[in-house]
Structure 1
Amino acid sequence: MADSDGVRAQSTVLMGNTGGRSPETPLNQKKRFLAVIGVITGVSILIGGLHYITTKNNDTCYPKVAVAADAGNCSQVGRDILLLKNGSAVDAAIATLLCVGLYNPQNMGIGGGVVFTIYDASTGKVETIDARETAPQKSSANMFDKDPQKTESVTGGLSIAVPGLLRGFMMAHKRHGRLEWKDLFQPSIKMARKGVIIGKAMAEALSETSVMIENSTTWCDVFCDSNNKTLKENDMIKLLKLADTYELIANEGPDVFYTGSLSQKIVKDIQAEGGIITSEDLRDYEPRVHEYALNFTMRNYTFHVPSAPFSGPVLAMILKILDGYNFTHNSLQTDERKILTYHRMIEAFRFTYARKSELGDPQFVKITDIIENMTSDETARNIRSKIDDTTTKPDSYYGKDISPPYDSGTSHLSIIAEDGSAVSVTSSINDLFGSMVMSPTTGIIFNNQMKDFSRTEQGKNINMNNLIQPGKRPLSSMCPTIIMDNSQPKHKRVKMVVGASGWTKIPSAIAQVVLNKLYFDYTLKKSVDEPRFHNGWKPNVTEVEEKFDKSMSEGLRKKNHDIHQLLGGDYLGEVQVAVRQGDRICAECDFREGGSPAGY
């Protein structure tokens, strides 16, 4: 290796140069020699690691482990849990997300919810853990009917659903953790007190919400500078109250949040903002474990995803429709083929998003037949027969006239561990800074997931399966995915761990990255970086990112697509992915969010 040779050449100079000093004794020469060898060994190991990191395709790869979070320092936290502490994949995931809650508090935190897809290499099983927020017991389907400005379901105390994240973390830890619970909090406690540097994603969120922040003592105490102006990118922020809260949860466990001293503060702070969450709501919250994830097989791969109220059925339907076209790298080799391929993908999005509008919480509504229909081969064949390769169709062609709910921001993490286990996990507080309610006593920012329910004041064409009921979980676009490689049946291994943030664009963003890598044979970096497109059926327009090929846009317009080009920093989902490539594990963090992977 050239770099190592360079180090060895330098070491010869170091050992041969006495700088005019008197000759050393043999004993001292030996000590110096061993010291230099130690330094050289350390440098060689570092350079050897760097050699593994970058390949000729600009993919970021490691020999054993990869962690891909949307904050680079947090990817390193996960890596260190695995490398230095011998933690499990779930240990690393929990520690990493606690860190992400500091670097991207606008997207996720302990005031929200989470969904895990977990592969345990020791058992060969894939399970999901659903810790989505729930509607409070005092909620009702028409609770927002008397809100003429339609704001109470978006911000403020009434928009807050019962947080589930910490009980979800504890369930995952009890089933798959290896380290002590409190050890998972220590890196983030230290960071929160020392201060973290504001990155691109948080800075943009702070800019968008600066008026609210600067007009609130609670928010400005945390997110303003000494002149009471909102902090900017590369400024340092200290989250001291949240650090104290983390430390309390680390030492006493998550029950301190749900039934202990924190719960009383949480209820008081939420109710002071007009919320209806009670101590009983917190006490009674329970995550759900599904010991067998929803799965479907395409080619040599088996996909494992969470079922409703999450969007596993949505991703399954999209990919099953498209699998029948037998896409390969040749599908993009000419402009004509590429336009046709993209047209078929967009049509699959339309048909699928129309069906998504019928989903809800299966504990409250009977949707088993809908899920089975969405994920069946017969449905995929039927829809392919309806896709016209020459043109798109009116809205009514794709599904029932139902207005979909509009869920919002999230954070995703993908991990492949040294033992072959894997975690794909997505967490959310919904909109930027959730409900825009931050507890002045604990530093917790609360979600606004009540917004994700369908509401009666939205009109007659609403998803009746997604109406508010006490204890119910709202529909979600989150879809943490684990893909197994079945090419060697006796030695099944994780091929890809993938998921996304980006509101309703999550399933279409994941589908595009999966197709780019596994079907179109792109490098991993190109698979993630490639400009995206999205059509969610309503509104029936096809959004394309700013750098999307203009010739593709023109070709799609000729097939009657209504193309809307996004500008500047508007993107269609942010994907974090880890994939096994030969004997290496590669990872990519979406430039759209600004994170970076870590591994060893």
Structure 2
Amino acid sequence: MASMRKLTLPHIALAAIISAVMPMHAQNYTSHLDRSQARSMVITQLGIVATSQTLASQAGAQVLARGGSAADAAIAADAAMGVVEPMNSGIGGDLFAIHWDAKTGKLAGLNASGWAPEKLTVDFLRQKGYTQMPQEGVFSITVPGCVEGWAKLHQRFGRLPWAELFAPAIYFAEHGFPVTEYIDAYWRSGQSLLEKDANARRIYLPNGRPPKVGEVFRNPEYARALELIAQEGESAFYRGPIAQDIVKTVDRQGDVISLADFSNYQAEWVDPISTTYRGWKVYELPPNGQGMAALEMLNIFERFPLPEWGFFNADALHVKMEAQRLAFADLRRYLADPRFAKVPVEGIISKEYAAKRAATIDMNRAHCDVEPGNPPNAGNDTIYLAVVDKDGNIVSLIQSLSAGFGSGVVSDEFGILLQNRGGMFVLDPSHPDVLAPHKRPYHTIIPAFMERGDLHIGFGIMGGYNQPQAHAQFVSDIVDYGMNIQAALEAPRFTKLDWGGCDFMIEDRFPPFVLQGLEQKGHILIMRGAYASPMGGGQAVLHNSSTGINYGASSPRKDGAAIPEPAPYFESAQKKK
């Protein structure tokens, strides 16, 4: 309904539209002053680190300059993110990654999502009066997989000594960092949750309130945990003093987690799943993550002439919105830990199934509540980073505490915020995502990768249920409309963060005629700002293997930046003497 949106939108000039969609290899440089792309890509012969916090990007870039691999830089940047963006990441959360090896051209997927404690069962919660999974507190906590994920990544692809990778994070935790604009807003939004936990109040509400923009925040307890991990490896977390601290903290409030839950946990290498999209190959990780929804959406997109329709077109956006509804109906019905339930991944991401789902789309009317299909063989607060090193190796990595500040529970000794990913389980025994001991829940966080010929792109976009929607839109922006990776991250988007209904949030950079066309089809549009946080901040890196040139990009919806590896200019000058 028109009353739900702003009617006075800035009309976007045709020249700006054209400049936004020019391909990365054929940019119209004569129109650069009129482009709608707000910032340029970072372009270098060396490596690039792109995160949502510039200090973390800088940390990763310096690791590259010390001879580190893409994996080394990703670990260092992620560890730093847990300090400078503590509400969205940290060692109390989970991790997924995709690694592309430039020499072999091979991809490796990493699932470092944690499992439910042995004692946490449906009956256990029913006896305590729960009818739904708790979304905060000790009964929402699953074993964190992040540190085990770092270890697996370093063992296979690292170059530098493990301990060196934690120097930046330890430095920021000990010496402090000035709070940035978005972090200030996130911190304030989580204040009520933090106030419920004594440790959270003590550590994360210094002076009784969230730190403000520009104020320096220090976390010496967390620094000590990082020092132990640097010195002793992942065993300090899963079999040593950190595990003991977490178990003691949780059991004091609920007696639900054990040292065995930690010591028995292992991350696993997995094969990415993929589809083709108009000549490109797009990769996601298999369940228990929701990446298959992005691939299903792309397969549905492919059934329609999106390039001919253009970017600012109501029919094109209608198809994408309807594809979202179809894919999410399937997610809700089928997604679970494949070790516990059969998930029909191959059927869901098949071209044949997409054709059947696409045939149900009515081009004149929105279907607000969509039923799941019958495929053959039939969870907002996250950080994402992308790294490419000078050799072209790429890491696409995503990490999260699930909701902002996770469960709200902070460990006694080391000040670790513990995730609430267990809140993604259900208590319905007939559902594939039903809670069970040592089962991994439905996971929203997904890294991605795409390639065609000599072009290889690691990318990811944050934001809970937004992620597969944003992935599909990002791929379409590049493939269908010729945008470069920065323009594709900046391009206006829509999203839906709940199940069912006719409503979509949409950024106000879409022209009025497009919005009116969508409303005429029955979509209810909830207008958001030009670069709205619910659409998800993201990063991307691109390696051109024919030229050896690397490109980096970062979304303006967060505080971050893509930062290039410092060139060895001083060393070069010294050698000339």
Tell me which interval the TM-score lies in, with the shorter structure as reference length.
0.7 to 0.9
TM-score scaled to structure 2, two decimals?
Answer: 0.85
One-letter amino acid of the structure 1 residue matched with residue 52 of structure 2: D
Cα deviation for residue 63 of structure 1 reads 1.7
The question of 1:228 aligning with 2:208 is answered: yes
1:444-497 deviations in Å (ceiling 9; x for gaps): 1101111011223xxxxx9711001111111112221111223xxxxxx45211
Aligned partner of 2:327 in structure 1 is 352
Aligned equivalents of 1:537 and 1:155: distance in 2? 19
Aligned equivalents of 1:394 and 1:243: distance in 2? 48
One-letter amino acid of the structure 1 residue matched with residue 335 of structure 2: L
Aligned equivalents of 1:130 and 1:463: distance in 2? 25
Say which of 347, 363, 373 aligns to 2:347.
373
Aligned equivalents of 1:168 and 1:394: distance in 2? 39
The SS at the match of 2:229 is helix
Aligned partner of 1:327 in structure 2 is 306
The SS at the match of 1:386 is coil
Cα deviation for residue 398 of structure 1 reads 5.6
For structure 1, the 5+ residue unaligned runs are 1-54, 401-406, 457-461, 487-492
1:351-405 deviations in Å (ceiling 9; x for gaps): 11111111111111112xx2111111111122222212111225245659xxxxx
Cα deviation for residue 216 of structure 1 reads 4.9
Aligned equivalents of 2:521 and 2:128: distance in 1? 42
Aligned partner of 1:481 in structure 2 is 448
* Cα 1:116/1:215, change in 2 over 3 Å: closer
The question of 1:427 aligning with 2:402 is answered: no
Cα deviation for residue 204 of structure 1 reads 1.5
Where do residues 498-509 of structure 1 align in structure 2 (5 Å cutoff)? 498-509=459-470
Cα deviation for residue 428 of structure 1 reads 1.0
Aligned equivalents of 1:246 and 1:480: distance in 2? 24
> 2:370 touches 2:500 (CA, 8 Å); kept in 1?
no
The percent of aligned pairs where both chains have the same amino acid is 26
Aligned partner of 2:137 in structure 1 is 156
> 1:349 touches 1:536 (CA, 8 Å); kept in 2?
no
> 2:100 touches 2:394 (CA, 8 Å); kept in 1?
yes
One-letter amino acid of the structure 1 residue matched with residue 49 of structure 2: V
Aligned equivalents of 1:263 and 1:394: distance in 2? 46
Aligned equivalents of 2:440 and 2:383: distance in 1? 19
* Cα 1:71/1:475, change in 2 over 3 Å: same
1:83-139 deviations in Å (ceiling 9; x for gaps): 2x1111111110000000011111111011101111112222101111101011112
Aligned equivalents of 1:214 and 1:160: distance in 2? 18
Aligned partner of 1:110 in structure 2 is 91
Aligned partner of 2:185 in structure 1 is 204
> 1:331 touches 1:520 (CA, 8 Å); kept in 2?
no
* Cα 1:309/1:397, change in 2 over 3 Å: closer
Cα deviation for residue 215 of structure 1 reads 6.2
> 1:350 touches 1:398 (CA, 8 Å); kept in 2?
no
Aligned equivalents of 2:484 and 2:157: distance in 1? 32
Aligned equivalents of 1:344 and 1:536: distance in 2? 18
Aligned partner of 1:470 in structure 2 is 437
> 1:295 touches 1:302 (CA, 8 Å); kept in 2?
yes
Cα deviation for residue 443 of structure 1 reads 1.4
Aligned partner of 1:386 in structure 2 is 360
The question of 1:441 aligning with 2:406 is answered: no
Aligned partner of 2:501 in structure 1 is 540
Aligned equivalents of 1:146 and 1:559: distance in 2? 47
Say which of 545, 551, 555 aligns to 2:513.
551
One-letter amino acid of the structure 1 residue matched with residue 550 of structure 2: I
> 1:588 touches 1:597 (CA, 8 Å); kept in 2?
yes
> 2:112 touches 2:145 (CA, 8 Å); kept in 1?
yes
Aligned partner of 2:48 in structure 1 is 66
Aligned partner of 1:587 in structure 2 is 552
- Higher mean alpha-carbon deviation, 303-312 vs 91-100, is at 303-312
Aligned equivalents of 1:113 and 1:240: distance in 2? 22
- Higher mean alpha-carbon deviation, 142-151 vs 206-215, is at 142-151
* Cα 1:178/1:390, change in 2 over 3 Å: same
Cα deviation for residue 592 of structure 1 reads 1.6
Aligned partner of 1:293 in structure 2 is 272
The question of 1:82 aligning with 2:57 is answered: no
Cα deviation for residue 316 of structure 1 reads 0.8
> 1:420 touches 1:494 (CA, 8 Å); kept in 2?
no
Aligned partner of 2:297 in structure 1 is 318
Aligned equivalents of 1:567 and 1:432: distance in 2? 21
Aligned partner of 1:32 in structure 2 is none
Cα deviation for residue 146 of structure 1 reads 5.3
The question of 1:513 aligning with 2:474 is answered: yes
> 1:535 touches 1:541 (CA, 8 Å); kept in 2?
no
Where do residues 11-30 of structure 1 align in structure 2 (5 Å cutoff)? none
For structure 2, the 5+ residue unaligned runs are 1-31, 566-577
Cα deviation for residue 564 of structure 1 reads 2.4
Aligned partner of 1:17 in structure 2 is none
Aligned partner of 2:315 in structure 1 is 340
Say which of 237, 247, 250 aligns to 1:267.
247
Higher Rg: 1
The SS at the match of 1:545 is strand
> 2:133 touches 2:427 (CA, 8 Å); kept in 1?
no
> 1:160 touches 1:275 (CA, 8 Å); kept in 2?
no
Where do residues 406-421 of structure 1 align in structure 2 (5 Å cutoff)? 407-421=379-393
The SS at the match of 2:457 is strand
One-letter amino acid of the structure 2 residue matched with residue 78 of structure 1: G
| Length, aligned pairs only | 520
Aligned partner of 1:363 in structure 2 is 339
Aligned partner of 1:563 in structure 2 is 525
Aligned equivalents of 2:367 and 2:465: distance in 1? 21
Aligned equivalents of 2:139 and 2:188: distance in 1? 25
One-letter amino acid of the structure 1 residue matched with residue 564 of structure 2: G
> 2:246 touches 2:412 (CA, 8 Å); kept in 1?
no
Aligned equivalents of 2:149 and 2:77: distance in 1? 15
Cα deviation for residue 163 of structure 1 reads 1.0
Aligned equivalents of 1:310 and 1:503: distance in 2? 11
* Cα 1:332/1:148, change in 2 over 3 Å: farther
Aligned equivalents of 1:151 and 1:106: distance in 2? 24
The question of 1:141 aligning with 2:122 is answered: yes
One-letter amino acid of the structure 2 residue matched with residue 101 of structure 1: G
Say which of 209, 220, 241 aligns to 2:221.
241
Aligned equivalents of 1:326 and 1:463: distance in 2? 40
Cα deviation for residue 567 of structure 1 reads 6.2
Aligned equivalents of 2:124 and 2:519: distance in 1? 43
The SS at the match of 1:411 is strand
> 2:133 touches 2:425 (CA, 8 Å); kept in 1?
no
Say which of 229, 236, 259 aligns to 1:256.
236
Aligned equivalents of 2:196 and 2:444: distance in 1? 32
Aligned equivalents of 2:326 and 2:485: distance in 1? 28
Aligned partner of 1:530 in structure 2 is 491
Cα deviation for residue 514 of structure 1 reads 1.7
Cα deviation for residue 513 of structure 1 reads 1.6
> 2:178 touches 2:215 (CA, 8 Å); kept in 1?
yes
1:28-67 deviations in Å (ceiling 9; x for gaps): xxxxxxxxxxxxxxxxxxxxxxxxxxx8764222223221
One-letter amino acid of the structure 2 residue matched with residue 127 of structure 1: A
The SS at the match of 2:292 is helix
> 1:531 touches 1:544 (CA, 8 Å); kept in 2?
no
One-letter amino acid of the structure 1 residue matched with residue 400 of structure 2: S
Aligned partner of 2:540 in structure 1 is 577
Cα RMSD after superposing both structures: 2.3
